[in-house]
A and B are shown apart, each in its own frame.
Chain A
Amino acid sequence: MSLLDRIQHLDDALSWKGDMPTQGRYTAGIAGERFFRAIKEDGQFLATVCLDCDITYMPPRLYCEQCFAHLDEWVEVAPAGHVHTFTVVHRDLDEQMLPEPRIVAFVVLDETDGGLVHYLDEVEPDEIYLGMAVEPVLKEKEQRQGSINDIKYFRPAGGTA
């Protein structure tokens, strides 16, 4: 037989508040360190190449996912890509409405088999089409910290600023 006593009144249904308090600190990793430092210092985009599988990984990786080879072939690729897919997000992590909707996209970098997930700006949602050429807009060098947020957003290629 299951429970022999049950709660009959809601004020007997207590709950205990608490959290999982520890915080996270994440190194960028062996491949990540080189990738983000190249953006931070030179505004350059680096990828790694698996010669066996003929895959150019963006973001660069220490290993090939498909054949597990160690990747130490680094190449610089042009800061240019196209929109593979995108969405318009309306709420933040607290489920509150954003001051204004934001566009997030997966941008395939042209000379690679991968790309970057990032914001799109300087464009209206209805102007965006799959395959649209875009380029990254970076923060000023002094503001860059070696993070994905060193890139402010992507915008249509040949944009204004």
Chain B
Amino acid sequence: MSLKRRVAIVGAGWSGFRSISPDLSYKELMYDAAVQAYEDAGIDPRRDVDSFVTVGEDYNEGTSIFDEYVPDQLGALHRPVQTITGEGIHGLAAAVMQILTGQFDIIVVEGHSKASNILTLPYILAFAFDPVFNRPLGVHPTFVAGMEMLRYLAETATTHEECAAVVAKNRNNALSNPLAGFGAVLSIDDVLTSEPIAEPLTQLECASHSDGAIVLVLASGETAATLTDQPIWVRGVGWANDTFRLESRPWGDARYARAAGEMAFRTADIKSPRQEIDFAEIDDTFAYKELQHMEALGLFPPGVAGEWTLAGGTERTGEFPVNPSGGALGQGHLLDATGLARVLEVVLQLRGEAGQRQIDGAEVGLAFGWRGVPTTGGAAVVLSS
């Protein structure tokens, strides 16, 4: 069952991408992004939108039943509104499914982060651990990433230098992206010698958090054609979970990414991803994750993603650009909305609106999001112009 020309992204808006946003409440941040998205799509939410999907987590917001507080600033009053507690791309998937039922033409997807308002973020992440078998050890949650990274390097013969090359690439890419708060010029050695967090993982290999909001407008095929002459088609979508249990999951292999990718490529009628996809925006919450996810998604054989990165093959000008936006390492991690930041970059690239960081001739892009430590929740979407 392929999604050929049945769902398109027809509008995008954003706000923030800064480490703090003290001048705006979360409602005002969302409203800012929504106004831009609706102008971009040429729609009035009070008249044209059939359903709204937001992503959010109670403990990221500091409010229980957070879906209460989303309708007003999105223009979603007295409309079908649902909150998905997932990665931004899970929210996108919920919107795609609704459009595919044939009952909904225009759907808005929103995600945001006010990470700067969380004073005890490590405790919030620790609160996601199994409360009986893992949490009582009281360890800083990045230990899971450190243990994954060690196993990944061992199983694929990827080197720490290759992981460090991801950081240098992404934060350099961020320098030419106005939607990025963490651009920097870094050498591989800078990364290797930064403070150890959960060895071998170093401080610079962990994405810092950022505030921001992203709103996307999706439309069914026929409606999309009436709204824009440049619809960005959702070619394929896929999402999957591996077991949540630390004790029965593979530590070196991102099995959830493989399953999500297989579904996305199946629904996109893509047989060989590396050849049929021009570039990708892939979760890089930790540097090694970009490489691990690229290999699990079938873009590169085990161990090869690192070699390519060190050799510059995944630079913006390389043969297969990865994270031209700067990724989470360069833009900042937007909590649940960070997958939508990946999607947003693919949309801007495919519309030729990526300015200085525009990739020439990009026609098919992949975005992949991961829900972060300690989860095994991943979601992928293939877009084409």
A and B touching (Cβ–Cβ under 8 A)? yes
A29 CB to closest chain B CB (Å) equals: 7
* B195–A90 touching, CB < 8 Å: yes
* A102–B139 touching, CB < 8 Å: yes
Within 8 A of A (CB), among B181-235: 195-201
Q: A30-50 toward B: CB 8 Å interface, digit per residue (1/0)?
A: 001000000000000000000
* B148–A85 touching, CB < 8 Å: yes
Contact segment of A72-80, A108-116, A135-143: A108-116
Does A118 sit within 8 A of B, measured CB to CB? Answer: yes
Within 8 A of B (CB), among A71-129: 84-95, 101-102, 104-106, 113-119, 125
* B243–A65 touching, CB < 8 Å: yes
Cross-interface CB contact of A105 among B133, B147, B148, B154, cutoff 8 Å? B147
Does A1 sit within 8 A of B, measured CB to CB? Answer: yes
Q: How far is the CA of A89 from the CA of B200 in the complex (A)?
A: 10
B38 CB to closest chain A CB (Å) equals: 11
Contact segment of B28-36, B262-270, B280-288: B28-36
Q: How far is the CA of A5 from the CA of B139 in the complex (A)?
A: 44
On chain A, which size bracket covers the interface? 35 or more
Q: Tell me the A residues contacting B by CB distance below 8 Å.
A: 1-3, 6-7, 10, 13, 15, 17-20, 24, 26, 28-29, 32, 57-59, 65, 84-95, 101-102, 104-106, 113-119, 125, 130, 147-149
User: Which A-B residue pairs are the 10 nearest by beta carbons?
Assistant: A87-B146, A13-B22, A85-B151, A88-B199, A7-B23, A26-B131, A2-B35, A114-B247, A87-B198, A85-B147
Q: Tell me the B residues contacting A by CB distance below 8 Å.
A: 22-24, 28, 31-32, 35-36, 58-59, 62, 64, 117, 119-120, 122-123, 126, 131-134, 136-140, 142-143, 146-151, 154, 195-201, 243, 245-248, 251-252
19 additional contacts (CB under 8 A) given A65-B243, A104-B146, A116-B247: A3-B28, A7-B23, A29-B132, A59-B133, A84-B151, A85-B251, A87-B143, A87-B149, A89-B140, A89-B197, A90-B197, A90-B198, A101-B196, A106-B247, A113-B248, A115-B247, A117-B137, A117-B247, A130-B151
